């Protein structure tokens, strides 16, 4: 898979494929309750890191695409998305920095702990808002899956799902 400049900026296609990736993993998790994978989206599809049955993945991806195109936008948001982690770490760091700004040691430690805990608690709901408005796009009109295949990527076996916008 060729990484292009557009992939870095979360283009429309990256956001669409990110939504499709989330929906696919959600549906696949329902088919395989012990599923343990991670994934990464690009402008021309997404890759899944993990031992996945190609037939089941294709079935889940096709269903995900159909359901997103039918308006099930909530499938685009995933509770274990890396966006939630980035938001959480950012909030905890900000809370710690703000807490440490106090001039009194007691206040500094308590403020850092309290604001970090508040940031941690806000991470998931805020992360899901960031997913909804910035990192995913469930509008998949004209998107179609062209192929699903297994390949080596930096020494690891990955499954690649390719998409096109028509």
> What is the residue-level pLDDT of the chain in tens, covering all 166 positions?
555 554 555 799 999 999 999 999 999 999 999 999 999 999 999 999 998 999 999 999 999 999 999 999 999 999 999 999 899 889 888 878 877 787 787 788 888 888 888 888 888 999 999 999 999 999 999 999 999 999 987 888 899 999 999 9
Q: Report pLDDT for 111.
A: 81
Q: Report pLDDT for 107.
A: 80
- Is residue 80 within 8 A of residue 28, CB to CB? The reply is no
Q: Report pLDDT for 9.
A: 57
How buried is 41 (Cβ within 10 angstroms: 0-12 exposed, 13-18 middle, 19+ buried)? Answer: buried
Q: Which residues contact 71 (CB under 8 A, 6 or more apart)?
A: none
Question: Coil, helix or strand for 134?
Answer: helix
- Is residue 4 within 8 A of residue 17, CB to CB? The reply is no
Q: Report pLDDT for 73.
A: 97
- What separation in angstroms does the CA of 147 have from each of 45, 58, 125, 163? 10, 8, 34, 7
User: How far apart are the C-alpha atoms of 162 and 117, rounded to whole Å?
Assistant: 40
């Amino acid at each position: 898979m060729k990484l292009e400049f557009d992939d870095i900026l979360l283009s429309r296609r990256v956001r669409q494929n990110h939504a499709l990736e989330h929906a696919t993993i959600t549906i696949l998790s329902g088919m395989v309750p012990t599923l343990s994978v991670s994934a990464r989206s690009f402008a021309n599809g997404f890759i899944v890191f993990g031992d996945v049955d190609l037939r089941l993945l294709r079935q889940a991806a096709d269903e995900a695409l159909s359901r997103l195109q039918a308006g099930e936008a909530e499938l685009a948001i995933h509770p274990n998305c890396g966006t939630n982690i980035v938001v959480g770490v950012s909030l905890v760091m900000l809370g710690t920095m703000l807490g440490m700004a106090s001039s009194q040691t007691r206040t500094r430690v308590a403020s850092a702990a309290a604001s970090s805990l508040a940031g941690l608690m806000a991470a998931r709901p805020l992360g899901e808002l960031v997913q909804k408005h910035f990192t995913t796009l469930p509008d998949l009109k004209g998107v179609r899956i062209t192929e699903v295949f297994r390949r080596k990527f930096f020494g690891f076996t990955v499954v690649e799902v390719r998409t096109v916008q028509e």
